[in-house]
Amino acid sequence: MFVDEARIYVKAGRGGRGCVAFRREKFVPRGGPSGGDGGSGGNVTLVSTPNENTLLRFRFSREFRAESGRHGQGSNCHGKSGADTVLEVPVGTMVYDDKTGDLLFDFSAPDQRFLAARGGRGGRGNQHFAKPWHQAPREFEDGESGEERHLRLELRLLADVGLVGLPNAGKSTLISRISAARPKIADYPFTTLEPNLGVVSADGPRPGVGRSFVVADLPGLIEGAHEGAGLGTRFLRHIERTRLLVHLVDVSGATSSDPVHDFEVVRNELIASGASLGEKPFFVVATKLDAVTDRAPLDALRAYCASHSFPCYGISSATGEGVLALVRAMADALDRLPRQEGAEPSQAIESRSTGPIQAGGQAG
């Protein structure tokens, strides 16, 4: 199950209480105060890891607490500090304050750490209150409470290329052709209900040889998606981290007779989302060439792209026609585009275990 949003409550540990004690030993008539300090409370820390690819673990366990510090003891013994609680989250997770909506941290690379809640400081024992005029103090301090927060975790996939288009445009078929990802493929709308990732090797049949990049197959968008229609805004956010968009348009006539209108519907939804998606570089790809019987829709789409200077390609994922040229064109375009700072998505995806977000590395 792919879960890309979760709300959790975190509370750091409370600091231990300081101790009131006096040194009483034989032959030490004036031992004085010897109360130790309380230990500090544990912290709650979030750590990004490439071994997780979903927020599923936070769906059922939503409350996380760190251990409190132990109280101080006599003979100037300090209490033990509480153990920290470390929560692993997938790379690409964004942490928001659930009450204010402020963005607290963005995990854009593996092994980043965010202190979500700081543990309370331990209280001082009575040894700290001794003065020349007050040599037997009984004052002490209670430990401070640890921080607590309500957080909203939002996962946005890290991918180089995002495949977008109307339902049944051929996105899942294409990613299964160019990578080892194996999404569900069927001839009805909204077959894809969760994103799929595939690692594509552009220069050879073996993954890790030459140029490689990550492609995300995102569920189909429909008119009104930016307002929540269909799968709506739930998956639009996954496109925000991609560097290149590939608009897949069915020109076979099976689902629509106007591919130009189909492209404009998806294009307008990206622009209306308000997340600068309309400014991303993109390709237009005419799909299902093997099933084309009337070339008028295909010619209309190519003429439209030529008039607007949009890069346009034609492919058939079933026969492989034009697929290799498209893969190499995507790799060439990515070479010219800046990579997100600190992000190495292909390495992160390759190290993930196979799950709802599938990973692959098969050349097209």
pLDDT digits (tens, 9 = 90+) for 20-32: 999 888 887 778 8
Position with higher pLDDT, 1 vs 47 = 47
Cross-strand pairs, 246: 163, 283
Q: What's the pLDDT score for residue 348?
A: 43
Q: What's the pLDDT score for residue 352?
A: 39
Has residue 347 got a pLDDT over 50? no
User: Rounded to whole angstroms, how far apart are CA atoms 188 and 225?
Assistant: 18
Summarize pLDDT for 154-174 with one digit per residue, the tens.
887 777 888 888 887 788 888
Q: Where in the chain do CATH 2.70.210.12 domains reside?
A: 1-155
For the domain 1-155, what is the CATH superfamily, name and number?
GTP1/OBG domain (2.70.210.12)
Residue pair 247/285 in contact by the 8 Å Cβ criterion? yes
Tell me how far CA of residue 99 lies from CA of 60, 116, 275, in angstroms: 21, 14, 22
For domain 161-350, say whether CATH 3.40.50.300 is its number: yes
Has residue 254 got a pLDDT over 50? yes
Candidate from 132-136, 315-319, 345-349 with smallest mean pLDDT = 345-349
Has residue 102 got a pLDDT over 80? yes
Q: What's the pLDDT score for residue 41?
A: 96
Q: What's the pLDDT score for residue 360?
A: 41
Has residue 121 got a pLDDT over 90? yes
Q: What's the pLDDT score for residue 346?
A: 44
Has residue 186 got a pLDDT over 60? no
Q: What's the pLDDT score for residue 192?
A: 52
User: Rounded to whole angstroms, how far apart are CA atoms 150 and 114?
Assistant: 15
Could you count the other beta carbons within 10 Å of the beta carbon of residue 14? 26
Has residue 274 got a pLDDT over 70? no
Q: What's the pLDDT score for residue 230?
A: 46
Could you count the other beta carbons within 10 Å of the beta carbon of residue 130? 16
Tokens 């792919």 locate to 2
Q: What's the pLDDT score for residue 194?
A: 64
Spatial CB neighbours of 280, under 8 Å, sequence gap ≥ 6 = 239, 242, 243, 244, 245, 270
Q: What's the pLDDT score for residue 118?
A: 95
Has residue 273 got a pLDDT over 90? no
Q: What's the pLDDT score for residue 362?
A: 39
Tell me how far CA of residue 348 lies from CA of 240, 248, 354, 357, in angstroms: 18, 26, 12, 12
Mean pLDDT to the nearest integer, 142-149: 94
Summarize pLDDT for 210-247 with one digit per residue, the tens.
678 888 887 766 554 444 444 545 566 777 778 888 99
Q: What's the pLDDT score for residue 113?
A: 95
Q: Please report, to the nearest 10 degrees, the dihedral formed by the alpha carbons of residues 339, 344, 346, 348 taken in order.
A: -150
Spatial CB neighbours of 4, under 8 Å, sequence gap ≥ 6 = 54, 55, 154, 155, 156, 234, 238
Q: Where in the chain do CATH 3.40.50.300 domains reside?
A: 161-350
Tell me how far CA of residue 323 lies from CA of 129, 168, 259, in angstroms: 77, 18, 19
Give me the chain's average pLDDT, please: 80
Has residue 340 got a pLDDT over 70? no
